[in-house]
Amino acid sequence: MTSAVPPIPQSAPRYQINALVPDHRKARSSNVVHRPWGSYEAVMCGEGYQVKRLVVAAGKKLSLQYHQHRSEHWTVVEGEVHVTIGDDVMVLQCDESIYVPLGSVHRLDNRSDGDVVLIEVQCGDYLGEDDIVRIEDDFGRA
């Protein structure tokens, strides 16, 4: 069997070896769903849970909303985002996370000039996109 990767001599500098490995951070699937506030991509689903990668575009915010069937846990992996849960507003930065209990009114608000990337873990008995009750929305969907 022939390998698609050429043999690398022991004396090859490390930068030459790294050039042969694709940059997985730039890889994206075609499952990206675009929204007025940015985009999301479902990266893993299972019984009672779903994991999404959210990108909140610069200067955009999601609806002030709640869910009847799921809780969420957000972890910021790039940027800084203002998070509203109930009457509390806090700022989360990279490597910080927060739990959003089922039924809690919540929102993500990117007030920066760059995109914010979060990992969202949803848990519940129903995870459909129609389990969103919007209270306020900048895009006329409430």
User: Domain with 118 in it: what CATH number?
Assistant: 2.60.120.10
Closest CA to 79 of 118, 106, 51, 42: 118
The per-residue pLDDT for 128 is 95
Classify residue 21: in a domain, yes or no: no
Question: How many residues does this entry show for the chain?
Answer: 142
List beta partners, residue 39. Answer: 34, 55
3-state secondary structure of 24: helix
Considering the entire predicted model, what is its pTM? 0.79
Per residue in 16-65, pLDDT (tens digit) is: 545 555 554 555 556 899 999 999 999 999 999 999 999 999 999 999 99
Total count of domains within the chain:
1
Classify residue 4: in a domain, yes or no: no
Classify residue 12: in a domain, yes or no: no
Closest CA to 61 of 140, 137, 132, 124: 137
Classify residue 106: in a domain, yes or no: yes
Per residue in 53-62, pLDDT (tens digit) is: 999 999 999 9
List beta partners, residue 109. Answer: 61, 82
**Structural domain range at position 38:** 29-136
Classify residue 5: in a domain, yes or no: no
Classify residue 7: in a domain, yes or no: no
